[in-house]
Amino acid sequence: MQEMFIGEVIKKRRAELGLTQEQLCEGICEPITISRMENGKQTPSRNRVIALLQRLGLPDDRYFALLSKNELELDKLQKDVASYSIRYRRASNEEKSKAKEDALAAVKRLEDAIEDDDLISQQIVIRSKILLGKDGGEYSFEEKINMLMESIHLTVPRFDLDEIGACLYSYDEIQIINHIACVYSEFEQHRKAVDIYSQLLRYIQKHMELVPSTKSYLPMIAFNYARELIILKRYDEAIEVAEIGRQVCINYGYYSDLPGLLAALAECKHLLGYDKESLSLYYQSYYICEAIGNEQGRAVVYEDLKQYFGIKIED
């Protein structure tokens, strides 16, 4: 998919889905921009093109538009924010304060650089602030939900938590919805989290079948969904959901979420009385964690084996 054909591709896919230009571009750009793009008269910014492709369930990794100087700078700033945020989450208690200061400074640099109409970058700023917290500590439940709803309404004005399947979403928008569910879980509103994950999983299965790369989001959603079902003791449903995620991991080679899904299956099997299957799944999860360097996951499985079976795996 090269730049000169991008408008044709979008027009064809939009027609296949029965979407109007207004429905596709809502929150991303004006309908006249889509019209010009489909007629080969205009190419919007890279961020907007990628968001449009993702909403259509099309691959975005073959779009090689040249980046302007401003886009290059924004791309660098966005990567800086992601890098500093990861460093903050992984920092020790002694390093936490300095890591947070550096991450918030990176967010501020991005915030100062974005234009008023760059709603996609504004979403990154809001989500980063939630993840990092404020000067006095963490945001409250209400603050987090309000900020996340503000974020997604920037590009999906009609978004409704009870009607998630009614709109189209980019990957970033899917991440925001997942983040909303995580906040409900964090504050022990597990039934609401399950409802959100149920809708989101159905959306991904329905709208993103054309693009194997997007399926990497499905295992993450399936894992989070399964964990919520386990908390609610809905073990058979959790097995069904975790198995969907496991199959995608295997079929498409996404191994980062595989150990967690295997551990979720193992815990459900044990709680339902199938200990032989449970042990096999736990061992699979443990050694995959070891192979890919997932120390946190390995520690969780180690504790589960010790708690449920009295087994201590020696290094």
- What is residue 137's predicted lDDT score, i.e. its pLDDT? 82
In sequence order, the 6+-apart residues with CB closer than 8 A to the CB of 195 are none
Of the chain, the percentage scoring pLDDT greater than 70 comes to 90
279 and 273 Cβ atoms separated by less than 8 Å: no
Q: Which residue has the higher pLDDT, 245 or 60?
A: 245
What does pLDDT average to over the chain?
87
Question: Tens digit of pLDDT for each residue in 64-117?
Answer: 444 555 766 777 888 888 888 888 888 888 888 898 889 989 999 999 988 888
Beta bridge partners of 137: 134
Q: Is the pLDDT of residue 56 over 90?
A: no
**pLDDT above 50 for 1:** no
Report the pLDDT averaged over residues 231-246: 97
- Give the tens place of pLDDT for each residue, 112-147: 988 888 888 899 899 999 989 887 788 999 999 999
**Residue pLDDT, tens place only, 243-296:** 999 999 998 888 899 999 999 999 999 999 999 999 999 999 999 999 999 998
Angle (CA) 183-28-18 rounded to 5° is: 100
Q: Which two tokens mark 233?
A: 């003791």
pLDDT-above-90 percentage for the chain: 49
pLDDT value of position 166: 92
Q: Evaluate whether 107 touches 129 at the Cβ level (below 8 Å).
A: yes
CB atoms within 10 A of CB 110: 21
Question: How far is it, in rounded angstroms, from Cα 206 to Cα 165?
Answer: 9
Q: With a cut of 50, say whether residue 4 has pLDDT above it.
A: no
Residue 71 contacts residue 61 (beta carbons within 8 Å): no
- On whether the CB atoms of residues 197 and 213 are closer than 8 A, the answer is no
Please give the pLDDT value at position 238: 98
Q: Architecture of 3-66 per CATH?
A: Orthogonal Bundle (1.10)
- Say if residues 201 and 174 touch (Cβ distance below 8 Å): no
Using the predicted structure, report yes or no on whether residue 2 has a pLDDT greater than 50.
no
Per-residue pLDDT, 61: 57
Q: CB-based contacts of 29: which residues, under 8 Å, 6+ apart?
A: 44, 48, 52
pLDDT for the residue 211: 54
User: Which phi and psi (to 5°) does residue 311 adopt?
Assistant: -100, 130
What average pLDDT does the segment 209-228 reach? 80
What's the pLDDT band for 44 if we cut at 50, 70, 90? low
d(CA 172, CA 162): 19
**The pLDDT of residue 94:** 85
Q: Where are the alpha helices (DSSP H) in 253-294?
A: 258-271, 275-292
Q: Where are the domains of the chain?
A: 3-66, 67-138
215 — pLDDT class (breaks 50, 70, 90): low
Interatomic CA distance for residues 287 and 156, integer angstroms: 41
Per-range mean pLDDT, top range of 62-66, 130-134, 221-225, 308-312:
221-225
